[in-house]
Amino acid sequence: MQYRTLGRTGVQVSTLSLGAMNFGAIGRTLQEDATAIIDAALEAGINLIDTADRYSQGESEEIVGKAIAGRRDDIVLATKAALPMGDERNHKGGSRRWLYTALDDSLRRLGVDHVDLYQIHRWDPTSSDEETLSALTDLQRAGKIRYFGSSTFPAYRIVQAQWAARDNHLGRYVTEQPGYSILQRGVETHVLPVTEQYGLGVLVWSPLASGWLSGAVREGREITTHRSAVLPERFDLSLPANRARLDAVERLAKVADEAGLTMIQLALGFVNAHPAVTSAIIGPRTLDHLHSQLAAADTVLPADVLDAIDAIVTPGVDLAPEEKYDTPPALLDPSLRRR
């Protein structure tokens, strides 16, 4: 396992991180299996575990908390808040009111007195940067969080938050967590250059593109990944974007074969080759999944393989742009672009 410095924090984290989204109802990975996965990941040298209050409405945090009891100090523990937790209108977002409550709830579920990295899961257009950063700074000074970061923020919002922190003498986001894979390269255009400019650590989610790059999705095979059952429209081959993804996967499989790599090694080696990326978050549901992904821990792709990938999926291009999560709200809601 290799390690990199998380932005400008001085904290060393493994180039593969363990994502806990599948722990609980979402991935149907329950306590015993999740604990075995965490045990094996830590044994392999992974030292960062990433979860969120939203994952199975808190169940993931509870599972992680039980699994790490007694060894918390050896783990860089990250969680998130801001996505809705129930139907009450104020149980979401980046307000001081909600972040204080959400963090206390997360600490209780995790069974800890602080988290190392607290992330705003999505930008909240209803809360000002000053409001959110002020609350996070005070929580940091109270010792409940060591650092804070953003997740899936558009590039301009990353910049605005950095300016707001500077102008108001507040703590700043030290990390960003974007979606990034061979098939979804849009963040290369604006987000990753911005994170490099401001020295942010980058924790990449969905480097296997929801299973498209796991090796399980190929032409002529029935698609049976867990994500295909949860989000069938993302694997509907009658849709042009999915057809484009499958065509790319077939060509990428040939590149992997010629290089003596698995598709997983190709996919994880690709994201970790970008100079802005600190760590790729893997989200195994089973021990077998974990071991197949750990095999990529030390994969370094040579220039000719990276060039071959660029020839298949153009740098800076998302093959499924409608699946982005950082689209400005006014492009999604017509009422926000009408007077």
Q: Are 154 and 120 in contact (CB under 8 A)?
A: no
State the pLDDT at residue 218: 87
Position 281 scores a pLDDT of: 98
What pLDDT, on a 0 to 100 scale, did the predictor assign at position 229? 62
Cβ atoms of residues 268 and 256 within 8 Å: no
Q: Which among 3, 55, 156, 198 is annotated as catalytic?
A: 55
CATH superfamily of 3-328: NADP-dependent oxidoreductase domain (3.20.20.100)
Q: Is 55 a catalytic residue?
A: yes
Encoding tokens for residue 265? 């090694």
The full set of domain ranges for the chain reads 3-328
Per the listing, tokens 């492009």 go with 331
229: exposed, middle or buried (Cβ count in 10 Å: 0-12, 13-18, 19+): exposed
- For residues 288 and 219, give the distance between their C-alpha atoms in angstroms, rounded to a whole number: 23
Return the H-helix or E-strand segment holding 159.
helix 155-167
Q: How far apart are CA 174 and CA 200, in angstroms?
A: 5
Question: What does the CA dihedral 90, 59, 157, 184 come to, rounded to 10 degrees?
Answer: -140
CB proximity list for 211: less than 8 A, separation 6 or greater:
217, 225, 226, 227, 228
d(CA 177, CA 117): 11
Point out which residues pair with 49 in neighbouring strands: 18, 77
Q: Give the integer Cα–Cα distance in Å for 197 and 27.
A: 36
Which residue type is seen at 313?
V
Contact 16, 268 (CB under 8 A): yes
Q: Which amino acid is at 76?
A: V
| Angstrom distances, CA of residue 168 to CA of 91, 122, 129, 217, 230 | 26, 22, 10, 49, 43
Give the 3-state secondary structure of residue 120: strand
Q: How far apart are CA 79 and CA 83, in angstroms?
A: 12
Task: List, for residues 95-126, the tens digit of each pLDDT value.
Answer: 999 999 999 999 999 999 999 999 999 999 99
pLDDT, residue 199, reads 98
Q: What element of type H or E holds 310?
A: helix 303-312
Phi and psi at residue 23, in whole multiples of 5°?
Answer: -80, 120
d(CA 135, CA 143): 13
- Per-residue pLDDT, 322: 83
Sites in the chain below the pLDDT cut of 70: 226-230
Q: For the CA atoms of 300, 304, 310, 312, what is the dihedral angle to 10 degrees?
A: -110
Phi, psi of 179 (to 5 degrees): -75, 135
pLDDT digit string, tens, across residues 132-172: 999 999 999 999 999 999 999 999 999 999 999 999 999 99
Of 76, 80, 138, nearest in space to 105 by CA: 80
